[in-house]
C-alpha cells in the first residue's frame, strides 16, 4: 500500500512539473498608414502573419493616409487596454500628445518603417526601419556613376512630411550637390502611388520635355507610373530616360527584366518578426535597441532576371 501511494505521489509530482503554463496571450494594436503601395501591403501582411504565428490577438487599424485616424486608433488601443502597439507613422511630426497618453497607460510602442520627431525619445521604445538617407545616397551614387555626373533629373517625392520622403530627398540631394553637371530640374510629390506618379510625370514631360535625362522616384510604384507616362510620351524608359527608384518590389524587378527600370534600392518591408520581437521584449521589461536598422543595397537591371524568383515581396 505504502509503495503504491509513493508511486502515485511521484506521478502527481511529475505531471505537475510537466504542465505547461500558457503565456498570457498578447493583445497588440497595429496602426497602419494605408495601402498606398505594394511595399506597404507586404509590410501589413508581414505584421499580420507574424502576429498570427505567435498566437497574438491583433487589432488592426488602416488610417487611410491620415494622421488624425492614427491618433484615434492609438486612443482606442489605450481604451481597449492592449499590451503593446505597433505604429507605422504617416508623417514625422505631431505625435507628442497622443504618445504621452499611451506612455501614461504603460503601453510600449514600436515604430515600424518610419521614424518620428518627438520632444522626448522615451515616448516610443524602438524604431525598426531602414536608413532612408542612405537609400537616397545609393540611388544618387548609381545615377552619378551611370551619367558621369551629368544629368537633368526629375524627382517624384513620397508623401509630404513622411520620414522616407524627407530623408530620401536629402540623401539623393547630397550626392547631386557633389556634381556640377547634375541638377534636379523638377521635384513634386507623387504621393507614393502609381496613378499620381504617372500624372506628375506627364506634367514634367509636358513642361520639361526633352530636357529630362533621368527620373528619381522615392518608391517603385511612382516609378512604374512614370514609366507608363514616358512610354505614352513616345520615349523609351530605361534608355532615353533613366529610371531609378526605391523599395525593390516584385513588379519593379519585372520592369527591370523588361528593360524599363534601371535600378531599385532594396527597402525591407518584412518587418513583422523584428517589430514583434522588440515589442515582446519591451512588454517583458527588457532593454531594446532604439533603432533596429535594416541594411539596404541597390539592385541593377542587368541582375534582375537572375534574382527575380528569389524575391520575397
Q: How far is the CB of 176 from ligand AHR (least distance, A)?
A: 20
Closer CB to ligand AHR, residue 50 or residue 247? 247
Q: What angle do CA 29, 30, 31 make, to 5 degrees?
A: 120
User: According to the binding rule CB under 6 A, does residue 213 interact with ligand AHR?
Assistant: no
What whole-number distance in Å separates Cα of residue 181 and Cα of residue 185? 12
β-sheet bridge partners, residue 60: 30
Among 31, 37, 65, 264, binds ligand AHR (CB under 6 A): 37
β-sheet bridge partners, residue 243: 215
In three-state secondary structure terms, 240 is coil
Q: How far is the CB of 245 from ligand AHR (least distance, A)?
A: 9
Closer CB to ligand AHR, residue 249 or residue 304? 249
Q: Whose CA is closest to 90, among 62, 118, 109, 110?
A: 62
Closer CB to ligand AHR, residue 114 or residue 198? 114
Segment contacting ligand AHR by CB under 6 A, of 32-40, 91-99, 224-232, 299-307: 32-40
Q: How far is the CB of 56 from ligand AHR (least distance, A)?
A: 23
User: According to the binding rule CB under 6 A, does residue 114 interact with ligand AHR?
Assistant: yes
Segment contacting ligand AHR by CB under 6 A, of 18-26, 31-39, 64-72, 206-214: 31-39
- Which cell goes with 193? 502611388
Among 50, 92, 113, 155, binds ligand AHR (CB under 6 A): 113
Q: How far is CA 52 from its chain centroid?
A: 20
What whole-number distance in Å separates Cα of residue 201 and Cα of residue 179? 24
Q: How far is the CB of 16 from ligand AHR (least distance, A)?
A: 50
Q: How far is the CB of 129 from ligand AHR (least distance, A)?
A: 8
| Number of amino acids touching ligand AHR (CB under 6 A) | 12
Site for ligand AHR in 139-198 (CB under 6 A): 164, 192
Among 247, 260, 266, 280, binds ligand AHR (CB under 6 A): 247
Segment contacting ligand AHR by CB under 6 A, of 35-43, 68-76, 179-187, 225-233: 35-43
**Residue 86 exposed, middle or buried by CB count within 10 Å (0-12, 13-18, 19+):** buried
Which parts of the chain are beta strand (E)? 27-32, 57-62, 84-87, 109-112, 126-130, 151-157, 182-189, 214-217, 242-247, 263-266, 291-294, 298-300
Q: Which contiguous run of DSSP H or E holds residue 253?
A: helix 250-257
Residues engaged in binding ligand AHR (CB under 6 A): 36-37, 39-40, 113-114, 164, 192, 219, 246-247, 267
Amino acid at each position: 500500500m505504502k509503495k503504491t501511494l509513493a508511486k502515485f505521489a511521484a506521478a502527481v509530482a511529475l505531471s505537475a512539473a510537466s504542465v505547461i503554463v500558457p503565456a498570457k496571450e498578447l493583445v497588440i494594436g497595429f496602426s497602419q498608414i494605408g495601402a498606398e503601395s505594394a511595399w506597404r501591403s507586404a509590410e501589413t501582411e508581414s505584421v499580420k502573419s507574424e502576429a498570427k504565428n505567435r498566437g497574438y490577438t491583433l487589432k488592426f487599424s488602416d488610417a487611410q493616409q491620415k494622421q488624425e485616424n492614427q491618433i484615434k486608433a492609438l486612443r482606442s488601443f489605450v481604451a481597449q487596454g492592449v499590451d503593446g502597439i505597433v505604429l507605422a507613422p504617416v508623417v514625422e511630426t505631431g505625435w507628442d500628445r497622443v504618445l504621452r497618453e499611451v506612455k501614461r497607460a504603460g503601453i510600449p510602442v514600436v515604430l515600424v518603417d518610419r521614424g518620428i520627431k518627438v520632444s522626448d525619445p522615451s515616448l516610443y521604445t524602438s524604431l525598426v526601419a531602414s536608413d532612408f538617407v542612405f537609400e537616397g545616397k545609393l540611388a544618387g551614387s548609381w545615377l552619378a556613376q551611370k551619367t558621369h555626373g551629368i544629368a537633368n533629373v526629375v524627382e517624384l517625392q513620397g508623401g509630404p512630411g513622411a520620414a522616407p520622403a524627407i530623408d530620401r530627398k536629402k540623401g539623393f540631394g547630397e550626392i547631386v550637390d557633389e556634381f556640377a553637371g547634375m541638377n534636379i530640374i523638377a521635384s513634386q510629390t507623387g504621393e507614393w502611388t502609381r496613378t499620381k506618379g504617372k500624372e506628375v510625370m506627364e506634367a514634367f514631360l509636358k513642361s520639361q520635355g526633352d530636357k529630362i535625362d533621368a527620373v528619381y522616384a522615392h518608391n517603385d510604384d511612382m516609378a512604374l507610373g512614370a514609366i507608363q507616362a514616358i512610354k505614352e510620351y513616345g520615349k523609351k524608359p530605361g534608355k532615353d530616360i533613366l529610371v531609378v527608384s526605391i523599395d525593390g518590389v516584385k513588379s519593379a524587378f519585372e520592369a527591370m527584366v523588361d528593360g524599363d527600370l534601371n535600378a531599385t534600392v532594396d527597402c525591407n518591408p518584412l518587418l513583422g518578426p523584428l517589430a514583434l520581437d522588440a515589442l515582446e521584449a519591451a512588454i517583458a521589461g527588457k532593454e531594446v535597441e532604439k533603432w533596429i536598422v535594416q541594411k539596404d543595397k541597390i539592385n541593377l537591371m542587368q541582375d534582375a532576371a537572375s534574382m527575380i524568383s528569389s524575391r520575397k515581396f
